Structure 1
Amino acid sequence: MHKEARVGHDTTEARKPFYRILYVQVLIGLMLGVLTGHFWPEFGAALKPFGDGFVKLVKMMIAPIVFCTIVSGINSISDSREVGRTLVKSMALFYLLTVLALLAGLLAVSLIQPGAGMHVSVGTLDPSVAAKFTKQAAATGFADFMLHIIPHSFFGAFADGEVLPILLVAILIAFGLSRAGDQGAAVTKAVASFSHVLFVSFGFIMKLAPLGAFGAMAFTVGRYGVRSIGSLGLLILTFYIACSIFVVVVLGTLARLNGFSLWKTIRYFRDELLIVLGTSSSEPALPGALRKLEQLGCRKGVSGLVLPMGYSFNLDGSAIYLTLASIFIAQACDIHLSWGQIAAMLGLMLLTSKGAAGVTRSGFVALVATLSVMPDLPVTAVALLVGIDRFMSEARALTSMISNCVAAITVSLWENACDREVLARELGQSDALEIATATGGGAATACEDKGWIPTTRSAA
Structure 2
Amino acid sequence: MQETTTAKASFNIFQNLTFWVFIAIVCAIVLGTVNAPLAVKMEVLGKRFIDLIKLFINPIIFLTIVLGISGMGDLKKVGRIGVKSLVYFEIVTTFALAIGIAVAYVLQPGKIDKTQVQLQDPSKFTKAANKGFDWLQFFETNVTLQVLLVAIVVGILLNYSKHRSSVVKALSFVSKYVFLGLKYVMYLAPLGAFGGMAFAIGKFGLHTLLPLAKLMGTLYLTMALFVFVVLGSILRYFKLSIVKFLVYIKEELLLVLGTSSSEPALPSIMNKLEQLGCTKSVVGLVVPTGYSFNLDGTSIYLSMAVIFIAQLYNIHLAFGEMLSIIGILMITSKGAAGVTGSGFLVLASTLATLHKIPIEGLAFLIGIDKFMSEARAITNIIGNGVATIVIANVEKEFALMDGQLLCV
TM-score by length of 2: 0.93
Cα distance change of structure 1 residues 132 and 212 upon mapping to structure 2, 3 Å threshold: farther
Equivalent runs, 1:190-229 vs 2, <5 Å: 190-229=170-209
Q: Does 1:425 pair with 2:404?
A: yes
Corresponding residue of 1:164: 145
Amino acid at match of 1:53: R
Local SS of the residue matching 2:243: helix
Whether the aligned pair in 2 keeps the contact of 1:59 and 1:161 (CA below 8 Å) is: no
Shift of 1:138: 2.9
Amino acid at match of 2:201: V
Local SS of the residue matching 1:307: helix
Shift of 1:361: 3.3
CA distance in 2 between counterparts of 1:125 and 1:168 reads 39
Corresponding residue of 2:318: 338
Equivalent runs, 1:389-428 vs 2, <5 Å: 389-419=369-399, 421-427=400-406
Corresponding residue of 1:178: 159
Aligned to 1:70, which of 65, 73, 80? 65
CA distance in 2 between counterparts of 1:199 and 1:246 reads 32
What root-mean-square deviation, in Å, do the aligned CA atoms of Structure 1 and Structure 2 show? Answer: 2.1
Corresponding residue of 1:83: 78
Shift of 1:15: 8.6
Aligned to 2:97, which of 99, 102, 125? 102
Local SS of the residue matching 1:76: helix
Local SS of the residue matching 1:114: coil
Shift of 1:252: 0.1
Shift of 1:174: 1.0
Shift of 1:164: 1.6
Equivalent runs, 1:350-365 vs 2, <5 Å: 350-365=330-345
Shift of 1:227: 2.2
Shift of 1:128: 2.5
CA distance in 1 between counterparts of 2:201 and 2:345 reads 23
Shift of 1:163: 2.2
Local SS of the residue matching 1:229: helix
Q: Does 1:371 pair with 2:365?
A: no
CA distance in 2 between counterparts of 1:37 and 1:286 reads 28
Shift of 1:132: 7.2
For 1:379-412, what per-residue CA distance to the aligned partner results, in whole angstroms no more than 9, with x for missing partners? 1110111111101111010111100000011101
Cα distance change of structure 1 residues 133 and 51 upon mapping to structure 2, 3 Å threshold: farther
CA distance in 1 between counterparts of 2:142 and 2:59 reads 9
For 1:245-302, what per-residue CA distance to the aligned partner results, in whole angstroms no more than 9, with x for missing partners? 0001000001111221111111111111111110111000110011111111111111
Shift of 1:127: 2.2
Q: Does 1:316 pair with 2:311?
A: no
Q: Does 1:51 pair with 2:30?
A: no
Corresponding residue of 1:9: none
Local SS of the residue matching 1:395: helix
Shift of 1:133: 5.1
For 1:35-84, what per-residue CA distance to the aligned partner results, in whole angstroms no more than 9, with x for missing partners? 01111000000000100010000000111111111111111112110111
Shift of 1:131: 4.5
Whether the aligned pair in 2 keeps the contact of 1:129 and 1:380 (CA below 8 Å) is: no
Corresponding residue of 1:60: 55
Shift of 1:14: 8.0
Whether the aligned pair in 2 keeps the contact of 1:140 and 1:352 (CA below 8 Å) is: no
Local SS of the residue matching 1:359: coil
Q: Does 1:22 pair with 2:1?
A: no
**Comparing 237-246 and 356-365, the one that deviates more:** 356-365
Whether the aligned pair in 1 keeps the contact of 2:193 and 2:255 (CA below 8 Å) is: yes
Corresponding residue of 1:259: 239
Shift of 1:427: 4.2
Whether the aligned pair in 2 keeps the contact of 1:119 and 1:333 (CA below 8 Å) is: no
CA distance in 2 between counterparts of 1:144 and 1:49 reads 28
CA distance in 2 between counterparts of 1:161 and 1:200 reads 26
Local SS of the residue matching 1:336: coil
Shift of 1:130: 1.7
CA distance in 2 between counterparts of 1:138 and 1:271 reads 38
Corresponding residue of 2:279: 299
Amino acid at match of 1:254: I
Gaps of 5+ in 2: 1-7
Bigger helix share: 2
Aligned to 2:132, which of 127, 138, 146? 138
Local SS of the residue matching 2:401: helix
Local SS of the residue matching 1:376: coil
